[in-house]
Amino acid sequence: MIKKYFAVTLVMLLLLMSVPVSAMAQETLQVNSLNEMATLDVLSGSDRQVVVVYNDKKDNNIQTLALSSEEIIGGQSISSRVDVIEVAADVDIEAFLNELRNQPNVLAADINQTYEKSSLSNDTYIQSGEAWQFTGIGQDETWDQVDNAEAVVVAVLDTGLNTGHPDLIGRTVLGYDYIVGSNHVIDRDRDEGHGTMVSGCIVATANNGIGIAGVAGTANIKVAPFCIGDGDFSDATIVAALMDAADRPDIDVINMSYGGYYTSRTEQTAINYALAKGKILVASSGNEGSDKEAGQYSYPASYDGVISVGATDQNQELAYFSQYNDRVDLVAPGENIVTTEKSGGYTYTDGTSFSAPIVAGACAVLLAENDRLTAIEAENVLKETALDLGQSGKDNDYGYGLLQLDQALEKVKNGGTDMPDDLLDVNYRTHVQNVGWQEYVSNGKMSGTANQGLRLEGLEIQLGDSDYDLGIAYTTHVENIGWQDYVYNGALSGTQDQGLRLEAVRIKLVGADADLFDVYYRVHAQNVGWMGWAKNGADSGTSGLGYRLEGIEIMVVPAGSWVPDNTDSAFLES
């Protein structure tokens, strides 16, 4: 018996010795750094590449995933919050994605999809009338009307920028090239320089006797160039740039002149992250208005919270290529316009790619005039002052109409936004399933998520310091339980880590001075999207439909002074 056991053991040892050591190591190797892996082409469009967005901002987040070299065959760290990894051919990618999404440090994970670019001062082309795009929107009346000390910055997520262009020198701040991982940015576009053309629409130097003037005119507005590709952009670089731009306090507006006809969990996560940080997001509606995709939703333009911009021609008619749908908010010139190109000269070009930055630049002008404007307020001013074209009221072709910057600026100058002079700070946070407590946000910013399948479980609200006798009370409707008792001033309403989601909320002010203010709030509900604004204790959300809440925005304003936006359909019940 002993001899037999010894013989079997000897055979096993000999077999193990015949296996190469490298092969044995590969079977159990855990990936601790993507620097050890094969580098990827993140613009290849491979359906085996996965974008991972992390909750934590740190180096080597990949270690928290505990992945092996059998599962992934390559990878690249795009930023401290975003990695892209290539999954081995024999791994079930859907199961792999589901496992990633359940990891505590993963905010979102999805396939790495690709997108395509959406292609009167004394300045030469302005004087000649060739740069017609600014007269139709009233910029010829506003170019020298704003003189702000602190710069308003527009992040341009595109192919980069020729920072040495004579009409753009001094009009930029630090950006980043996600293709090579460097602060030194060039325009990587294979053609005339998409990023340089987009940036020129915003900040080409006004009144310098050459070229054109951007919509910013002489206002202190600059662009931060983010290179996310050479004309083809990937989810990985888009998400990294969006989140980095959102984290920068000097950036106020983000322009996105690209799109694709599909949604992405990771891009949606980054969009919501930027919105929660209070950024104004502007995107081109798409150039397929006469193609097979006509009328379809292009993203990122069609995400909630993004200003979707279509294009008009010189006759103020919809450009033949401009994408149309019920998500279009505004239109701006986009056919046969003149702008800067990467060679250092100028070019004529077409596309909603160039309508979007005109609107983004207009938003920056309004912020330069009044830095207290919120993203919602700036958007509403542009919509209220737009020139109504097409069908009366909002329509699918023109949205609310053609941008009229002179009227919008006049409204802001005269306090016509109805923005209250005594806006009270309200701070709030939400507990999100599988994520936990979010950071506190304030005054109309979003807490929670949207379109990620992650529901709210708890809510805490508190008012900032003031001289008023004022407090805040709130209650939540919890699935399978119903309405909770009111709680006050920072206490938890709802549950935490019990798998019970919120379905509706009521919020009201209390105290001797409660009648001096209104509290407005709206929620993002599963299968519904953003609902209308409720006010002063009214129901917001749903009842009897099984729809859970995903996000919330709250504002406190002087009584009767101001309404944030639409107040219809704040509550739905079966």
Q: How far apart are the first and last CA of the chain?
A: 76
Is 158 an annotated catalytic residue?
yes
- Are 118 and 286 a contacting pair, CB within 8 Å? yes
Q: Cβ distance 521 to 515 under 8 Å?
A: no
The answer to whether 535 touches 542, Cβ cutoff 8 Å, is no
Cα gap 526→546, rounded to integer Å: 9
Measure the CA–CA gap between 231 and 560, rounded to whole angstroms: 48
3-class SS at 517? Answer: strand
Query: Considering only CA atoms, which of 142, 136, 346, 112 is closest in space to residue 240?
Result: 112
Instruction: Please report, for residues 119, 208, 212, 277, 381, the alpha-carbon distance to residue 218 in angstroms, rounded to integers and kept in the order given.
Output: 26, 10, 12, 27, 21
Q: Determine the 3-state secondary structure of 438 from DSSP.
A: coil
| 429 DSSP β-pair partners | 460
Alpha-carbon span 235 to 281, nearest angstrom: 17
Burial class (CB in 10 A: 0-12, 13-18, 19+), 128: exposed
Residues 547, 540, 101: CA angle, nearest 5 degrees:
40
Name the burial class of residue 10, with classes exposed (0-12), middle (13-18) and buried (19+) by CB atoms within 10 angstroms of its CB.
Answer: exposed
Q: Within a 10 A sphere around the Cβ of 471, how many other Cβ atoms? A: 17
Work out whether strand 306-312 and strand 328-333 pair parallel, antiparallel, or are unpaired: parallel
Torsion, CA 317, CA 140, CA 360, CA 157, rounded to 10: 100
Phi-psi region of 122 (alpha: psi -120 to 50; beta: other; left: phi over 0): alpha
**Geometric angle at alpha carbon 66, from 64 and 70, rounded to 5°:** 145
Among candidate residues 284, 285, 302, 353, the one labeled active-site is 353
Output the CA torsion sign for 381, 198, 77, 38. Answer: positive
Q: Where are the alpha helices (DSSP H) in 480-553?
A: none
Q: Report d(CA 211, CA 288) in Å as an integer.
A: 30
- What are the structure tokens assigned to 231, written together? 């004309």
Q: Would you state the structure tokens that stand for residue 281, as one six-digit string?
A: 């997001």
Structure tokens at 499: 């798998």
Catalytic residue among 165, 194, 431, 477: 194
Examine the residue annotation and report whether 353 is marked as an active-site residue of this protein.
yes
d(CA 38, CA 35): 8
Q: Which of 110, 123, 158, 167 is catalytic?
A: 158
The answer to whether 233 and 17 have CB atoms below 8 angstroms apart is no
Rounded CA separation 115/283 (Å): 13
Separation of alpha carbons 180 and 190, rounded Å? 16
Cα separation, 247 vs 424, whole angstroms = 24
Q: Which residues are catalytic?
A: 158, 194, 353
